[in-house]
Chains A and B, each alone.
Chain A
Amino acid sequence: MNIPDNDWLPAVFLGLMALSFLVYAILDGYDLGVGVLLPSDTAQENNQQHRDMMIYSIGPFWDANETWLVMAIGLLLIAFPSAYSIILQALYLPTALMLVGLILRGVSFDFRTKAPSKNKTKWDLAFKAGSLLTTLSQGYMLGRYVTGFENTTFGYGFSILASICVTAGYSFIGAAWLVMRTEGKLQIKAARWAIYCNTLMAIGIIAVCLTNLFFNKAIMDKWLSFPQVFVMIPMSFLLIFLFSSIHLYLTKVPTKNDVGCWFPFVCATLIFILSFLGLAYSFYPYIIWQKITIWEAASARNSLMFIFIGAVIVLPTIIAYTIFSYRVFWGKTTKLNY
């Protein structure tokens, strides 16, 4: 539109939007992951208890976590309305599927405790199915987005790969969350899930990196030219270090006195941040890959300024009461009563 390409406002909004997506991926990531991991075998005696505990562990948080998606999508809509239209139209069907997944997940959470007990397991399965549908479609959407909505076999193939990797990533951070917030048999079970997902996610990240390097010349140039390559190499080492140290820790769960139960979750968060930074760096300053930059897609300055002022005032408040809410429900998971 009419914004010069050195204006700071679109860049700030891109930053805010990216931050919201990252916060969303970490926060709703872990609760969607917990949903995906929900044991589905109804015959086993412990499973009902484990399902209850797993859902209690995310109960007070999932709703606020999900709001970060509304925030991120809202910022895209506010700051880059033309890109918003292009992206959502191109992702029409996966968006619809994701929404159905989110609906199923969100309502199952509440219905499961209120419906007659014979239906409880069915709602648990709906919870799992909703979470899985959400993560798979989000991964697919991410894949479509980073390939610039390419309608080729490569484009679709890459998106399917991304869909599996994102699900593995969410499951991994979900399992790490459970290691942190549960005890006993469930914690051991969670550690075992985390080991599998950790491996799967590592393979996924390597696969995505390699695919990008081999098939996407622009990104390869961006990463492998001088001096960026000196960032890329330590970053790769850091990732390898994180993956292997989590693996080592997980094989020792349960640790004595539960030492370091937060360790996998913190590392998972770091891995999410690193992957996200890599992605963001590769893309900047495009909002639609190699087609539209953020300045071309930005809203009017007046509109951005109006919401910017509100955001500066309100965001710290939101962060404050989010922290308050996490403090209220901190510690090992207990049964939720109301």
Chain B
Amino acid sequence: MLDIATDPNELSFMLSRIQFALNISFHILFPTINIALSWMLLFFKIRYSQTQDETWMRIYRFWVRIFALSFAIGVVTGITMSFQFGTNWPGYMETVGNVAGPLLGYEVLTAFFLEASFLSIMLFGGERVSQRVHTAATLFVAIGTSMSAFWIIALNSWMHTPQGYEMIDGVAYVTSWIEVIFNPSMPYRVIHMLLASALTAAFFVAGISAYRVYKGDSKSSAKIALKFALVVAAIAMPLQLFIGDLHGLNTFKYQPAKVAAMEGAWQTEKGLPLLIFAIPDEETRKNNFEIAIPKLASLILTHDKNGEVKGLNEFKGEHPPVAPVFYSFRIMIGVGLLMLTCAWLGCYFFVYKKQFPSWLLKSTILMTFSGWVATLAGWYVTEIGRQPYLVTGLLRTRDAVTNTPSEHIAISLTIYIAVYTFLLFAYISTLFVMTHRAINLEQKDLARSDMKDDQLLEIPNNTQTRSAP
């Protein structure tokens, strides 16, 4: 802390980290919704083709508009990310550019163009191309979003568990692309993220649909979407717990310091307890107010209740800040358990009771953005957990930072904070407007009709009945 006041570089470093954290946190919100939502849209579209039931088309049309909005924000904030490496973390590209460059390049080549080109056909091409081509466009967009996630996470995983390279004069050279891409943590991370997206999108769809039902929307499209989303969540959540556990074991093997921080384990211990809650103190290197279950952490991590777990004492100066990793991990798990409860209760009431109690409807509404919270918390565990390294054991975050004067970074950071706050507000309020518009629309699908724009844009009152021309 003292350094910051005296060393301007230290200030640049701190501001760059905040700026990067802000940018990536804001960006990730939108792909997280869209990866899975794109597949759900494909499902709706295919169901419509099979059944010719207009309800599926209405669900498709409502969600494709929300998809487009989220996509637009995801794209522009993603572009910001690709510039950040150069503006704020030049040491990153200079050291591992030979690895990162081609992976990012493949993302652009195989995903970006695909998404961008076919999204237009998916959105505006409905009347210009055949239904088959339109469904194919929806499929290509879904493939694009997933490919994009694949390449980015392959690179991110490599930063956690690097292999397939050699260092010559401080620069990484690739010796095997297979080893780089299929690095040890990649499969777990990719599946964990795809399931996170499935859950985020599922609760997003469920929450907004529940809101529509709660506000008296009696159309079948809202109820069917609610049921569909809860089923997706009910299936995805246990899978996620299973994969999350495997991912944890993988991390334990390759990044023991991160696991020690997640568990709040200051000392190497046999029979490590699982901390439900605690306040880790970096000064005294101890936890306060521990609530613990004896030996459980050892059991989970080593499958032996007396197994040895390395503590933070083994990694002095090389381990991440403990408190943020420790808390984020608990937030992620806590939200995950809430999701499991909500999804299973929802399915239970749908299947056995054939009705949905009002308290559960309200709870589902509260869970609308739960995926965002869990995903962000999960990424904080992963990314803060890698510190002080940018690439584990190879490049320290400190050594990658820009020489740009701290005033410039302060200016850009201020601008980003203002823009992102505004956008988040605009996004959520627009979701609200769109949802209300859907609630008040009549069964006849007005969105598709040839009505004038401004008529469509008005929010009709409950009292006013509207008819299609």
Contact = CB atoms under 8 A, between A and B. Distances in A.
Q: Do A and B come from one complex?
A: yes
Interface of A: 1, 52, 59-61, 63-64, 66-67, 69-71, 73-75, 77-79, 81-82, 84-89, 91-93, 95-97, 99-100, 102-107, 109-111, 113-117, 120, 299-300, 302-303, 306-307, 310-311, 314-315, 318, 321-322, 324-325, 328-329, 335-338
Interface of B is mostly: helix
Contacts of A1: 171
B98 to A, nearest CB: 4
Interface in B63-78: 64-65, 68-69, 72-73, 75-77
Contacts of B76: 102-103, 105-107
Interface residues of B, number: 75
A80 to B, nearest CB: 9
B354 interface: no
Contact of B402 (A87, A89, A100, A303): A89
Interface of B: 61, 64-65, 68-69, 72-73, 75-77, 79-80, 82-83, 85-87, 90-91, 93-94, 97-102, 104-106, 108-110, 112-114, 116-121, 123-129, 171, 173-174, 177, 402-404, 408-409, 411-412, 415-416, 419, 423, 426, 430, 433-434, 448, 450, 453-454, 457-459
Nearest to B125: A328
Nearest to B455: A117
17 contacts: A71-B108, A71-B112, A74-B105, A77-B85, A81-B94, A85-B86, A88-B86, A100-B419, A102-B80, A106-B75, A111-B69, A114-B69, A115-B433, A303-B174, A307-B106, A336-B123, A337-B127
Given A79-B101, A96-B87, A63 B106 contact: no
A107 B426 contact: yes
Contacts of A59: 120, 124
A67 B102 CA distance: 17
A322 B140 CA distance: 13
A93 B433 contact: no
B65 A114 contact: yes
A115 B65 CA distance: 12
Given A81-B93, A82-B94, A111-B69, A120 B457 contact: yes
B80 A88 contact: no
B86 A74 contact: no
Contacts of A322: 113, 117
A89 B101 contact: no
B430 A303 contact: no
B277 to A, nearest CB: 39
A338 B28 CA distance: 26
A329 B128 CA distance: 8
A315 B109 contact: yes
A61 B87 contact: no
B124 A338 contact: yes
Given A103-B419, A337-B124, A78 B104 contact: yes
A324 B140 CA distance: 14
Given A116-B457, A337-B127, A299 B97 contact: yes
B108 A328 contact: no
Nearest to A74: B108
Contacts of B112: 67, 70-71
Given A63-B119, A300-B174, A73 B82 contact: yes
Specify which of B105, B177, B415, B454 lies most central, judged by the most chain A CB atoms within 10 Å of its CB: B105
